[in-house]
Homo-oligomer: A and B are copies of this chain.
């Protein structure tokens, strides 16, 4: 039977006769709120899904044209493999009833407890929750590709991307967000009072610390550091794509943060305001900071700054004032410039798109900012220092877990399938080496590095 037809008819009836057309028993206001929550959360999930396009464009734009096909393939594959893997394994690990005192879930794999097609199926919340969580998991995974761009073996990438989506991300997620589906399935971190509303740490830092581990194990791109260790610029091939990507991400974040209410009420608008102010602050601060330091208003820093503001406000977006949000964004934006420079020059870790700074460092900053700016718990509002202590624990645990798991994972891959492409392939470009094609046929491209 064609549901579409039925609803069409039902609607027509409802409108024509003004009789309760939908239900055996009358629909209640609460049912409707539940339906509204579904609509809102679904739309938010779609916006977050679209962030994949944003990441793809940013990462492609900030790398060289000889590696464009490769980075695009990585982006579509991490989302595809992640969507499947999270459905089978990750979701249950993260949201199922917890084993061993809140360390990981053991139920709800494939949402198997939810009968399909049965009575009341059409008003189910769980599927909407699943798609929303799936796109979050994919976000964490996709962050890694940026930090490891232009030199990672494709087959290795597929493997570790799967591991991130089915294991590293959901396990940490279980600790911090385990109770989102079943109230009594909470993880140990949230049990302590750790606050990370939309995932500064859970999603962004986790992804970034894995990426950091990857960038370290891989080593820098050929030509990134001179013989004397001085960093060289390897400019990306399209600032237009990079900018487009950032705008798409900014849009997607309105799904990410306000969507994390998973509830259709005025908080959506409020969180949209804090999110937007922080992003704007990030862009402004990064621009002026880069201008002051480098004597030019640097574009890639400015756009990174907007992302920095967005990552920073992800954890505190629902508990801070708009002014607080703006300050958090401004600091995030300044921070990202220093962090990129520090990682590039001092740590000498080669992160082509600045993913570690944007998602890792600013993710940590945003998480800590909860302890400072939260209207109830924050230090600056008389909430004392206990919350910031808890936040610090969460930040550190995320680092240890994600960076540690990443190091182990990448070391194993390095020793087995190999993590890095050959020198010759890196020189010619991964597009030809891994995929046997070029991204911009016909265009005369002149790359001497």
Contact = CB atoms under 8 A, between A and B. Distances in A.
B128 A296 contact: no
Nearest to A132: B269
A34 to B, nearest CB: 6
B261 A7 contact: yes
A84 B437 contact: no
Interface in A234-277: 235-241, 243-244, 246-248, 250-251, 254-255, 258, 260-270, 272-273, 276-277
A53 B244 contact: yes
A38 interface: yes
A127 interface: yes
Contacts of A343: none
A33 B42 contact: no
A298 interface: yes
Contact of A180 (B5, B43, B276): B5
A338 interface: no
A232 interface: no
A81 to B, nearest CB: 6
Contacts of A116: 270, 321, 375
A190 B2 contact: yes
Given A123-B266, A276-B131, A302-B73, A27 B27 contact: no
Nearest to A53: B247
Contacts of A322: 87, 110-111
Interface in A111-169: 111, 116-117, 121-132, 134, 154
A72 interface: yes
B239 A179 contact: no
B237 A269 contact: no
Interface stretch (A10-18, A96-104, A347-355): A10-18
Contacts of A35: 33, 36, 264-266
Copies in the complex: 3
A413 B280 CA distance: 24
Which residue of A3, A22, A236 has the most chain B CB atoms within 10 A of its CB atom?
A3
A262 B11 contact: yes
A70 to B, nearest CB: 9
A436 interface: yes
Given A84-B277, A183-B5, A269 B32 contact: no
Interface of A is mostly: helix
Interface string A43-64: 1011101101100110010001
Which residue of A19, A195, A254, A321 has the most chain B CB atoms within 10 A of its CB atom?
A254
Contacts of A128: 266, 268-270, 272
Nearest to A2: B195
Given A262-B11, A445-B443, A5 B179 contact: yes
Contact of A284 (B36, B81, B260): B81
A72 to B, nearest CB: 4
Contacts of A405: none
A375 B254 CA distance: 36
Which residue of A2, A18, A36, A53 has the most chain B CB atoms within 10 A of its CB atom?
A2
A182 interface: yes
A18 B87 CA distance: 28
Contact of A123 (B15, B28, B41, B154): B15
Interface in A271-292: 272-273, 276-277, 279-281, 283-284, 287
A435 interface: yes
A60 B240 contact: yes
Contacts of A84: 277, 280-281, 284, 326
Contacts of A129: 8, 269
A415 interface: no
A21 B15 contact: no
A33 B39 contact: no
Contacts of A7: 37, 261-263
B83 A276 contact: yes
Given A117-B376, A122-B266, A322-B87, A127 B280 contact: no
Interface string A361-398: 00000000000000110000000000000000000000
B32 A32 contact: yes
Contacts of A52: 247, 250
